[in-house]
Structure 1
Amino acid sequence: MALPNIYTDVNFKNQPISSGIISDSSSCTVSDSSSALPKKTTIHTSNPGFPTLRLAFLIFFLLLAILFSVSLIDKVWSCCPKNWKPFGSRCYFTSSDSASWNKSEEKCSRRGAHLLVIRSQEEQDFITNTLNPRAAYYLGLSDPEGYGQWQWVDQTPYDQNATSWHPDEPSGNMELCVVLSYHGNVKGWGWSVAPCDGDHRLVCEMMRLYL
């Protein structure tokens, strides 16, 4: 009964520890597994934050690309037709031709626009910087019935607190239209009433084009 025990013991001692060859699965497998376990653990935990860092960079560059695309669309595809001047969300066209108020509005309508509607002093300052001070320009403002019921062509509510009338204007009690005119360095640009059948220049206005 002692011989098998001696044979097994000798075989175990003669087995090279570093060879990695499995000749007895019950003993060598346990030995190889325990010696390799630290190596596997070290490999998996060497860079624990790498996937998270990579995902963060991916999200950052994705957001950057989206912001760039939005900015590019706003600058490139929001535009005005040729020879129109942009200001805010609108485009403006000034004509040197003279016509009555109705014909002036028709000319603007054929361009997909309407006569100038002024909503702020900043808008008026922008427009007047492009106009000839020796001419008068129709606004899209009129009083069809002559009762002081002023109406803008685009249905913008008339606000008497946001007007730029010249002194002593508006005046008259008949069908009247409004022109933008220059009254010297002291008074500057302002609004004056004028007969609707008079010939004056025009400024057309339209929304910017978004393609």
Structure 2
Amino acid sequence: MASPNIYTDVNFKTQPVSSGTIPDATSALPKKTTTQKSSPGFPVLLLALLVFFQLLAILFSVTLIILFQMYSELLEEKNNIKQLNHTKLDCMKSHSSVEDKVWSCCPRNWKPFGFNCYFTSPDSATWKESEEKCSSLGAHLLVIHSQEEQDFITKTLDTWAAYYVGLSDPEGHGQWQWVDQTPYNQSAISWHSDEPNGNREFCVVLSYHPNLKRWGWSDALCDGDHRAVCEMRQLYL
């Protein structure tokens, strides 16, 4: 559609017609001026391209940050597994609330229960040596949080053996402490009926009482040779 004509500076004058003089027709017509509008297409397109590339750069930066975080987490998990000397894992579908984790894993030959993994040492050693061995595996001596947990563990143990757990009285003043700083329940009922009873027995073993036909805790010498149970948190991948 053509642009309308725009008229500016139009002056109309009446001139007397003198004899023998014919007014110039062209001078009597109003002067016509037109304006031209510049096309806005190029600046708008340039601005749109600039905004597009800025958004693309922001999206690329965010994606790069997310990928870097995922890579860092994966690398950290692999390093942790490598440091714990666990070359093989047994994993199952995770039903925990751990975000973005699909598998819950325990090292091969460890038994899962709840959120933890358990390993029974086949060798006998002192309490300190047993704790050091568990520590070298990224674990600690067994900390019993519930009767259900203890019942699960004892089903895998030999009734003729005693097993160090992570409970001791390091000062010898009757102040029992768990190795992971879990508060000790003073009303714990897992002690055998005649325990604790030793003056120099400042470590605890899990043992089977044949007469009572039940598992329970007994205080023991810390330098005695007993088997042990190690405990660690499950690994989530």
1:125 to 151, 170, 175: 151
Equivalent residue, structure 2, for 1:151: 177
Equivalent residue, structure 1, for 2:140: 114
Equivalent residue, structure 1, for 2:186: 160
Matched, 1:183 2:199: no
CA 73–93 in structure 1, closer or farther in 2 if over 3 Å, else same: closer
Counterpart contact for 1:166–1:187, Cα < 8 Å: no
Counterpart contact for 2:165–2:228, Cα < 8 Å: yes
CA 174–80 in structure 1, closer or farther in 2 if over 3 Å, else same: same
1:1-211 map, 5 Å: 74=95, 76-174=102-200, 176-184=202-210, 186-211=212-237
Partner Cα separation in structure 1 for residue 159 and residue 201 of structure 2: 25
* Deviation of the 1:145 alpha carbon: 1.3
* Deviation of the 1:79 alpha carbon: 1.2
Partner Cα separation in structure 1 for residue 152 and residue 93 of structure 2: 26
Counterpart contact for 1:120–1:162, Cα < 8 Å: no
* Deviation of the 1:100 alpha carbon: 0.1
Partner Cα separation in structure 2 for residue 122 and residue 82 of structure 1: 23
Gaps spanning 5+ residues in structure 1: where?
1-70
* Deviation of the 1:164 alpha carbon: 0.3
Q: How many residue pairs were aligned?
A: 141
Partner Cα separation in structure 1 for residue 94 and residue 178 of structure 2: 32
Per-residue Cα deviation, 1:70-122 (whole angstroms, up to 9, x for no partner): x9554851111110000000000001100000000000000000000001000
Gaps spanning 5+ residues in structure 2: where?
1-91, 97-101
Q: Structure 1 stretch 97-106 or stretch 159-168: which is displaced more?
A: 159-168
3-state SS in 1 of match to 2:212: helix
Choose between structure 1 and 2 for higher RCO, CA contacts under 8 A separated by at least 6 residues: 1
Partner Cα separation in structure 2 for residue 141 and residue 88 of structure 1: 20
After TM superposition, where is structure 1 displaced by more than 6 Å over at least 4 residues in a row? none
Partner Cα separation in structure 2 for residue 182 and residue 117 of structure 1: 18
Give RMSD over aligned pairs.
1.8
Residue type of the alignment partner of 1:89: F
Partner Cα separation in structure 2 for residue 187 and residue 73 of structure 1: 36
CA 169–74 in structure 1, closer or farther in 2 if over 3 Å, else same: same
Residue type of the alignment partner of 1:110: S
CA 73–194 in structure 1, closer or farther in 2 if over 3 Å, else same: closer
Partner Cα separation in structure 1 for residue 186 and residue 175 of structure 2: 11
Partner Cα separation in structure 2 for residue 175 and residue 191 of structure 1: 12
Partner Cα separation in structure 2 for residue 174 and residue 185 of structure 1: 25
Counterpart contact for 1:147–1:173, Cα < 8 Å: no
Counterpart contact for 1:98–1:200, Cα < 8 Å: yes
* Deviation of the 1:175 alpha carbon: 5.3
3-state SS in 2 of match to 1:140: strand
